[in-house]
Amino acid sequence: MVALLLSNLANLASLILNATTFGARAEMDAFLAANRVSETLFVLMAGGALGSAFIPTFTALLTKGERKPAWKLASSIANLVLIILIVAAILAAIFAQPLVHYVLARGFASNPAQETLTVNLLRIMLPSAVIFGLSGLVMGILNSHQVFFIPALTPAMYRLGMIFGVLFLTPSMGIFGLAWGVVIGASLHLILQIPSLLRLKGNYFATLGLKMPAVRQVGLLMAPRVFGVAVVQLNFWVNTLLASYMMEGSITGINWGFTLMLFPQAIIAQSVATAALPTLSAQYALGKVDELRSSLAASLRGILFLAIPASLGMILLRQPVVALMLQYGNFTAASTQLISWALLWYSAGLVGHCIVEIMARAFYAMNDTKTPVLVGSLAMGLNVLLSVLLSRWFTSLGWMPHGGLALANSFATGLEAVGLLVLMRRRLGGLEGQRVLKGTSQAVLATIAMAILLWGWLALTDARQAWLVGGGGVILGGVIYAIIILALKVPEIHSVLDLLKRRLKPVYK
């Protein structure tokens, strides 16, 4: 969680620099649309898809003491990933122009200069997909060995590359400097993990391992997950396509609004889910279903305690927080309206996103990639339909239509979370429902009290400076929520306090 917090601070710094340098304008729309291709290639072949299939298989081999087959599996997957991504990147570079014109951002056709810019940016950033592919596999290897801190810092290295691009390359290269920063950041993402990988003293095998049962198992586990990820990416592509027809800055609005929502999601859910996956995988491999159920319920409670107040807090404080963080330089008050409008509707889905993160990992730990993929595919299919309908509805109401794209995502993700919870409860014969429900009720009660005080704070500080309204609101909300949680004697908060006391005790001695 600490590492992800640092990574998110780097992400925030990068976002601020991008916002102040480029604002929510046509250049940034082109950059974000172009980067969608590299991101899709990475996620399809080596991101969440590969991790969800590779980590359980690799961990199972290590748990059984089969070290050589485990490293042969890792080598085979690395070789396959590199070959597939290199070929895909070359094809995407060759067909970049029709890809942008007919599929990715058809709305840019009315502005040939913006379309050409998108094509050129796309080609520059394609190598990052190949580098990220290998880095994603290394991350899975380290996580399987219970090494989490360094892999969790890698997003910060990626953002540092982008920061370098903005500060040192953009003055002479413009938006192309940021694109090269993406490639530099991807390289740093991989380089940071190499020393930790070498310390494991694993062996490399120059083989594709197509006849290895473990490689085939990863392939079988990965196939449905790739399909599910493809459906999710399809939704992002549809949103980019729809937003390309909307007012300038709409693509930036939905991307940065989603990014701001992901800040708390990463700290709250990704940190817990990343640390829990190897443990849940080992418990399932050893047949310890009761322990798996208890670990999952504890993770779920912890996530809900943080996600519920974070969701409502972002909804209430969205505009002053966005202004406080981003409204400088070329990022105007109009840009703040674009981003905060998207953030409003994305924040409504924060709890759903957090639940999906941990529940999907639990299914992966049980070597079941089909169930979360099926549920996710249905939800994202609904998302695509809702994106079209809600954006049109928002337009008919006189609202900025990109907010409808955000609301569609939140609604579909909420349904996905409910579906996964119901199915996992059936699979495990329960999820310690009374314990989770009690924790949720306590979190909701504390959040309601926090919201009432924040409403009062917003009324009291109306039209004041963003640093006072946003910064003061975040601090006030956090303090009030923590006090109420302490008063309710929530076990998790006392566990955290006990842990801090144990860690700080040697310092005072």
pLDDT of amino acid 361: 86
Percent of the chain with pLDDT over 70: 94
Checking phi first, is residue 398 left (phi over 0); if not, alpha (psi -120 to 50) or beta?
left
Average pLDDT over residues 86-97: 94
* Contact indicator for 238, 105 with CB cutoff of 8 Å: no
For residue range 132-157, what is the model confidence (pLDDT) as tens digits? 888 888 888 888 888 888 888 888 89
Four-point Cα dihedral 179, 180, 186, 188, nearest 10: -140
For residue range 250-264, what is the model confidence (pLDDT) as tens digits? 999 999 999 899 888
Name which of 487, 440, 451, 435 is nearest 311 in CA terms.
451
Average pLDDT, the chain: 88
pLDDT of amino acid 52: 66
* Contact indicator for 415, 379 with CB cutoff of 8 Å: yes
pLDDT of amino acid 429: 84
pLDDT of amino acid 499: 63
What's the one-letter identity of residue 261? M
pLDDT of amino acid 9: 84
* Contact indicator for 277, 365 with CB cutoff of 8 Å: yes
Residue 194: CB atoms within 10 A of its CB come to 12
Two tokens, residue 350: 């924060």
What are the φ/ψ torsions at residue 432 (nearest 5 degrees)? 50, 55
For residue range 349-404, what is the model confidence (pLDDT) as tens digits? 999 999 998 898 888 888 887 888 889 888 988 999 999 999 999 999 999 999 99
Name which of 429, 290, 272, 426 is nearest 361 in CA terms.
272
User: Is pLDDT of 268 > 90?
Assistant: no
User: Is pLDDT of 48 > 60?
Assistant: no
Q: What band does 101 get if pLDDT is binned at 50, 70 and 90?
A: very high
Average pLDDT over residues 338-352: 96
The more confident residue out of 96 and 229 is 96
Q: Kindly calculate the radius of gyration of the chain based on its CA atoms and give it in whole angstroms.
A: 23
pLDDT of amino acid 452: 94
What's the pTM?
0.81
- Rounded CA-CA distance 211/273 in Å is 32
User: Is pLDDT of 111 > 60?
Assistant: yes
For residue range 173-203, what is the model confidence (pLDDT) as tens digits? 999 999 999 999 999 999 999 999 999 888 8
Name which of 334, 325, 343, 179 is nearest 247 in CA terms.
334
Average pLDDT over residues 108-136: 93
pLDDT of amino acid 477: 92
For residue range 24-34, what is the model confidence (pLDDT) as tens digits? 889 999 999 99
User: Is pLDDT of 214 > 60?
Assistant: yes
Burial tier of 354 (Cβ tally within 10 Å: 0-12, 13-18, 19+)? buried
User: Is pLDDT of 505 > 70?
Assistant: no
pLDDT of amino acid 383: 92
The more confident residue out of 503 and 12 is 12
Two tokens, residue 221: 């586990």
Two tokens, residue 36: 């969608």
Name which of 255, 316, 318, 266 is nearest 450 in CA terms.
316
Specify the DSSP class assigned to residue 361. H
Residue 171: CB atoms within 10 A of its CB come to 10
Four-point Cα dihedral 254, 255, 256, 259, nearest 10: 120
For residue range 424-452, what is the model confidence (pLDDT) as tens digits? 999 888 887 788 888 889 999 999 999 99
pLDDT of amino acid 115: 95
* Contact indicator for 34, 346 with CB cutoff of 8 Å: no
What are the φ/ψ torsions at residue 64 (nearest 5 degrees)? -85, 5
- Rounded CA-CA distance 313/450 in Å is 8
User: Is pLDDT of 509 > 60?
Assistant: no
* Contact indicator for 184, 124 with CB cutoff of 8 Å: no
Helices 433-460 and 472-487 cross at an angle (nearest 10°) of 140
Largest CA distance in the chain: 69
- Rounded CA-CA distance 218/77 in Å is 9
- Rounded CA-CA distance 490/484 in Å is 9
Four-point Cα dihedral 165, 170, 173, 175, nearest 10: 90
Does an H or E element contain 423, and which? helix 402-428
For residue range 273-282, what is the model confidence (pLDDT) as tens digits? 777 777 888 8
Average pLDDT over residues 337-350: 95
pLDDT of amino acid 153: 85
pLDDT of amino acid 50: 65
Q: Kindly give the residue spans of alpha helices, DSSP state H, lying in 245-288.
A: 250-265, 271-285
pLDDT of amino acid 291: 86
In sequence order, which residues have a C-beta less than 8 Å from that of residue 126 and are 6 or more positions away? 37, 38, 41, 89, 92, 93
Handedness of CA 76, 77, 81, 82 (dihedral sign): negative
Two tokens, residue 368: 């079941």
